Amino acid sequence: MRLYLKFLPLLLALPAGADVQFHAKPMTDAKIPRGKAQCEIRLMVDQQVEVSLRGDMIGVHTLTGADARDNGSECSAPLPGRMVDGFTMTVKKRHGEVRLVAEPAARNDFTATIFIHDNAAGEGLYDLRISWNAASETPPGINSNNAIQSAARGAGKAALNEAAPVPLGAVTVVIDRGSNIAVTFQIGRSGSAIFTGTVMSREGGVLKMDGKADERFLHLPGPMYLYFDASKQVYKIAMDATNGQDQLRVSWERK
């Protein structure tokens, strides 16, 4: 008993729960309005938590009560690491207070933050929809009427000759039924690099593209390899391009 009393102040000082982080699953079977993208955040919450969405990564910080549990959260595309138009949060199901604390902005590294206070007994299901306007520009050479898309947040680099490598961020891959393909990497907060071409072959989860860089990388041609997981979402990209004089090497992996 004396030992318990000795350590009681320390026990009271410990946080109520630990932070939880996980990637939202790719959204594959949802009817999303044209020109929109969205993430469905579904959590089982006990008491109070703070929820963040950055890209397709969902973080839950427990304020009081037990740690929250994921209940099938999914995203049609990662929340972009730049300013977006039409950002909204819709509460589809709740058992207590839900409040949008911060919209994504440069000052918070483009992270949406939500406060939840569940005042019901035990856990309660919270279903929140974050939506925004998807980029309306169709990559060159792509027929947008029948294109399929894969997008992911990640990191990589593009090294042109001896110049300092250009850091690459989130990627979007668009393939139409004519086997035309466009791979767009985010660069910084507002820049991008687009690689276009045609599908040469597909073996298992590896797609080989006969590609060409944009003007940023001197339109250099070469094969690009895109690796897809079982959910048909891109997780790795590699390319060696050259015109016989200049050389470009691209490497990227999903976070």
Q: Is residue 194 part of a domain?
A: yes
- Give yes or no: residues 209 and 101 share one domain: no
Token pair 């294109």 is found at: 147
Q: Supply the pLDDT for residue 11.
A: 35
Distance of alpha carbon 133 from the chain centroid: 15
Do residues 90 and 20 share a domain? yes
For 3-38, the three-class secondary structure string (H helix, E strand, C coil) is HHHHHHHHHHHCCCCCCEEEECEECCCCCCCCCEEE
Is the pTM higher than 0.85? The answer reads no
CB burial of 37-56 (b: ≥16 within 10 Å; e: otherwise) equals: bbbbbbbbbbbbbbbbbbbb
Which among 47, 153, 173 is positioned nearest to 104, based on CA atoms? 153
Q: What's 203's domain CATH number?
A: 2.40.160
Tokens of 217: 């990388």
User: Can you tell me the distance from the alpha carbon of 6 to that of 11, in angstroms, rounded to the nearest whole number?
Assistant: 10
Q: How many domains does the chain have?
A: 2
Please give the C-alpha separations between residue 222 and each of 50, 51, 158, 213, in angstroms, as whole numbers.
Answer: 46, 42, 14, 9
Q: Are 121 and 103 in contact (CB under 8 A)?
A: no
pLDDT tens sequence across 82-133: 777 789 999 999 989 999 999 988 788 889 999 999 988 889 999 999 998 8
**pLDDT per residue over 207-230, tens digit each?**
999 999 988 899 999 999 999 998
Q: What is the residue range of 95's domain?
A: 16-133
Tell me: do 168 and 121 sit in the same domain: no
Classify the phi-psi angles of 47: left when phi > 0, otherwise alpha if psi is within -120 to 50, otherwise beta: left
The CA distance from 147 to 175, in Å, is 5
Structure tokens belonging to residue 253 = 């992996």
Q: How confident is the model at residue 6 (pLDDT cuts 50, 70, 90)?
A: very low
Same domain, 28 and 106: yes
For 25-71, how does the pLDDT look when each residue is reduced to its tens digit (9 = 90+)? 887 666 777 778 899 999 999 999 999 998 889 999 999 999 999 99
Which DSSP category does 164 fall into?
Answer: P
Question: Is the domain of 110 the same as that of 163?
Answer: no
Does residue 4 form part of some domain? no
83 with 179, same domain: the answer is: no
Nearest residue to 81 via CA among 112, 60, 40: 112
> Quick check: is 5 in a domain?
no
CB–CB of 191/174 below 8 Å? no
The answer to whether residues 44 and 80 belong to one domain is yes
d(CA 113, CA 105): 11
Torsion sign across C-alpha atoms 144, 57, 55, 127: positive
